[in-house]
């Protein structure tokens, strides 16, 4: 059947519409639940098919006009055609479905979704760079939906404006360099006062190229760094000293970081997320808290302002060193930090054997399954779990409920990445 018409019955985890033809699932790019669409070319697979929406026959009332001219080509966003209110509702639906299907659990109550400014929010990111000789042009942007190609972007509305409005300028800058074919990517990192661009240069740059980068940074007020090798090779080009930090005003905390360090991408949402985590932990001055996957101390240091003691554990030793530096920077003496591979069994360590009243988990996408083999220990009656992947959260929620005797008291989503299908969430467990 050529160009079949289908009804869209759901939204997939990656933001595509879901339909069924003769019982087989079809993922439809550009389609929304409640719509009837005519499909473009269907790519057939054994267990599912893929297609795009060639024509919208019945339009969802939640469909809006995408702001970005590159929507549908660039892979950076997949939900700009869905209203912001409907986006966050769809993410809460994804979380609920994962809880029920994977974890076999249901929250006692749903937390109000946390939302914020949907544009210009992205303070951390990695731009791909590609010199295209046939076009005599350097492309700077995110990958296309077909990841073999870099999207030809003029601007990005989700990046902070200091960078998002200058993608064409960055392309022109790279295209004029002698080493234009050896610039692989540009890492964006923004503190409260400074926006830094780290250029990954695959060969040493000439004096002319270095001067061009410095002039660009000076003209636009951007710090410029070079990365000729691994992460430890990053060094400032202009100015001589690049200092990055962000404040958490509610806790009177200032966190310093380096350009390649992990920080939460959305500054405003990070503030609201920390506040919610502290509220759910319900801290008292005598509490002893364990913060696993603590990074730079994004949660650990605010917890230390309220609790008696807090122990942060992180797998990357460099981040642990900077966590300790940030504790000193903020005059915090009741926080300890340890470096440990949390994907391995750490039950024999002193920090894992200690007693804690409360536990905060903020793991990577893979979740905290290895940790839950030996934690939380007896005496820990409250767990707050911050998640960037609903599937691993749902799996771990099932473990906490069935193996550790907890109840899933509350859960909700936080729109850390508006216009994308990324689901950031938080859950409270008690026993």
Residue 412 reports pLDDT greater than 80: yes
Q: Is 124 helix (H, G, I), strand (E, B) or coil?
A: strand
Q: Identify which has the larger pLDDT, 145 or 282.
A: 282
Give the per-residue pLDDT at 375.
96
pTM score = 0.95
Q: Could you report the per-residue pLDDT of 249-273, keeping only the tens digit for each?
A: 999 999 999 999 999 999 999 999 9
- Quote the percentage of the chain above a pLDDT of 90: 96
Give the per-residue pLDDT at 194.
98
Give the per-residue pLDDT at 298.
98
Q: Could you report the per-residue pLDDT of 211-256, keeping only the tens digit for each?
A: 999 999 999 999 999 999 999 999 999 999 999 999 999 999 999 9
Cβ partners under 8 Å of residue 28, min gap 6:
6, 8, 16, 17, 18, 19, 37, 39, 50, 51, 52, 53
Give the per-residue pLDDT at 217.
98
Strands 335-339 and 309-314: parallel
Active-site residue numbers? Answer: 388
Give the per-residue pLDDT at 145.
87
Q: What is the overall mean pLDDT for the chain?
A: 96
> CA–CA distance from 114 to each of 35, 84, 301, 360 (Å)?
27, 12, 22, 19
pLDDT grade, residue 1 (50/70/90)? low
Cβ partners under 8 Å of residue 116, min gap 6:
266, 268, 269, 272, 415, 418
Whole-number Å distance between alpha carbons of 300 and 292: 9
Q: Could you report the per-residue pLDDT of 290-343, keeping only the tens digit for each?
A: 999 999 999 999 999 999 999 999 999 999 999 999 999 999 999 999 999 999
Whole-number Å distance between alpha carbons of 310 and 288: 6
Give the per-residue pLDDT at 146.
87
Cβ atoms 386, 392 nearer than 8 A: no
Q: Could you report the per-residue pLDDT of 186-212, keeping only the tens digit for each?
A: 999 999 999 999 999 999 999 999 999
Q: Could you report the per-residue pLDDT of 2-16, keeping only the tens digit for each?
A: 789 999 999 998 889
Give the per-residue pLDDT at 397.
98
């Amino acid at each position: 059947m050529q160009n079949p018409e289908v009804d869209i019955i759901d939204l997939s985890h990656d933001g595509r519409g879901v339909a069924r033809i003769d019982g087989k699932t079809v993922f439809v790019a550009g389609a929304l639940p409640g719509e009837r669409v005519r499909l473009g070319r269907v790519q057939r697979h054994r267990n599912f098919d893929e297609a795009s929406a060639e024509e919208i026959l019945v339009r969802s009332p939640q469909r809006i006009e995408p702001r970005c001219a590159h929507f549908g080509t660039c892979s950076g966003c997949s939900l700009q055609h869905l209203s912001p209110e409907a986006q966050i509702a769809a993410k809460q639906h994804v979380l609920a479905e994962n809880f029920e299907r994977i974890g076999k659990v249901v929250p006692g109550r749903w937390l109000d979704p946390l939302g914020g400014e949907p544009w210009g929010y992205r303070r951390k990111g990695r731009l791909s760079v590609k010199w295209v000789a046939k076009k005599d042009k350097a492309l700077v942007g995110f990958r296309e939906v077909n990841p073999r190609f870099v999207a030809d972007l003029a601007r990005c509305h989700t990046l902070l404006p200091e960078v998002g409005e200058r993608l064409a300028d960055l392309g022109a800058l790279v295209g004029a360099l002698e080493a234009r074919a050896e610039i692989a990517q540009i890492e964006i990192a923004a503190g409260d006062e400074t926006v830094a661009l780290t250029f990954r240069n695959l060969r040493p740059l000439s004096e002319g190229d270095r001067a061009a980068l410095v002039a660009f940074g000076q003209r636009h007020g951007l710090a410029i760094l070079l990365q000729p090798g691994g992460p430890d090779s990053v060094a400032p080009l202009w100015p001589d000293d690049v200092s990055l930090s962000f404040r958490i005003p509610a806790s009177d905390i200032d966190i310093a970081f380096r350009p390649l360090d992990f920080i939460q991408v959305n500054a405003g949402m990070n503030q609201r997320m920390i506040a919610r985590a502290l509220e759910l932990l319900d801290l008292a001055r005598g509490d002893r808290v364990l913060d696993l996957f603590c990074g730079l101390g994004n949660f650990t240091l605010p917890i230390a302002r309220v609790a008696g003691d807090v122990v942060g554990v992180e797998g990357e030793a460099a981040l642990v060193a900077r966590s300790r530096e940030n504790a000193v920077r903020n005059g915090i003496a009741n926080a300890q930090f340890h470096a440990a591979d949390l994907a391995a069994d750490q039950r024999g360590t002193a920090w894992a054997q200690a007693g804690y009243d409360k536990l905060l988990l903020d793991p990577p996408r893979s979740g905290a399954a290895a940790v839950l083999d030996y934690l939380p220990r007896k005496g820990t009656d409250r767990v707050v779990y911050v998640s960037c992947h609903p599937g691993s959260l749902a799996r771990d929620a099932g473990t906490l409920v069935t193996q550790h005797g907890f109840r899933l008291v509350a859960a909700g989503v936080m729109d850390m990445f508006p216009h994308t299908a990324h689901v950031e969430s938080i859950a409270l467990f008690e026993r």
